[in-house]
A and B are shown apart, each in its own frame.
Chain A
Amino acid sequence: KAGVTQTPRYLIKTRGQQVTLSCSPISGHRSVSWYQQTPGQGLQFLFEYFSETQRNKGNFPGRFSGRQFSNSRSEMNVSTLELGDSALYLCASSSGTADTEAFFGQGTRLTVV
């Protein structure tokens, strides 16, 4: 069974640009959650998509957006990049129901210069 796939693994962007990250969840999983993690920090929750609908949202500015497709693949977009957006972006796949665990992709490391 394939795991969670995130692409690309590494990305370097310039301030002001926008970026799109992709996450393919485990087959059959309907929930994809996105997190931002900076060095030494915990997981900061961005949002969760479940069956193509945003079910939960964290406290990030509107520059951060996402979507989910009918095959459960999800994309996350960050517009007008800032230096502070440099981080490891993680997606987690789960069935999304009560009492179920989540599985993470390898992450996308974004560097904004």
Chain B
Amino acid sequence: QKEVEQNSGPLSVPEGAIASLNCTYSDRVSQSFFWYRQYSGKSPELIMSIYSNGDKEDGRFTAQLNKASQYVSLLIRDSQPSDSATYLCAGRRRSNYQLIWGAGTKLIIKP
């Protein structure tokens, strides 16, 4: 099992709808997660960090962590064309603190 798994997409969502991005993780990964957004040709930018079970909201973004199911998600409300990007989730390996990355999900918001 991969340590952090993420569907590479693409995920196509109409403008104004909710985009839902998901990752699963193994026992080898610490239960704190980070969501990054990467535009084509640019470096990843941290969007949100989540450390505890439940939801964390920041503007149009909500991160959700379910430790029992080993599942983390990012919801983007009122999706805009400018949200079109690749979204990466990451967590730290417990044994050596290395950041482990999902493959990234390409999100396309259709006007």
Contact = CB atoms under 8 A, between A and B. Distances in A.
Interface of A: 33, 42-43, 45, 48, 55-56, 88, 90, 92, 94, 96-107
Contact of A103 (B30, B41, B46, B51): B46
Contacts of B94: 98
B69 to A, nearest CB: 20
Given A48-B98, A56-B96, A96-B97, A88 B41 contact: yes
Interface of B: 30, 32, 34, 41-46, 49, 51, 88, 90, 92, 94, 96-99, 101-104
Nearest to B91: A99
Contact of A33 (B34, B99, B102, B103): B99
Most chain A CB neighbours (cut-off 10 Å) among B42, B44, B46, B90: B44
Contacts, number: 54
Contact of A99 (B42, B46, B51, B88): B51
A99 B44 CA distance: 18
A13 B60 CA distance: 43
B51 A45 contact: no
B79 to A, nearest CB: 23
B43 A104 contact: yes
Contacts of A94: 99
B51 A55 contact: no
A103 B97 CA distance: 15
Contacts of B102: 42
Nearest to B31: A99
B43 A98 contact: no
Contact of A101 (B43, B49, B98, B104): B49
Given A43-B88, A43-B101, A92-B99, A106 B43 contact: yes
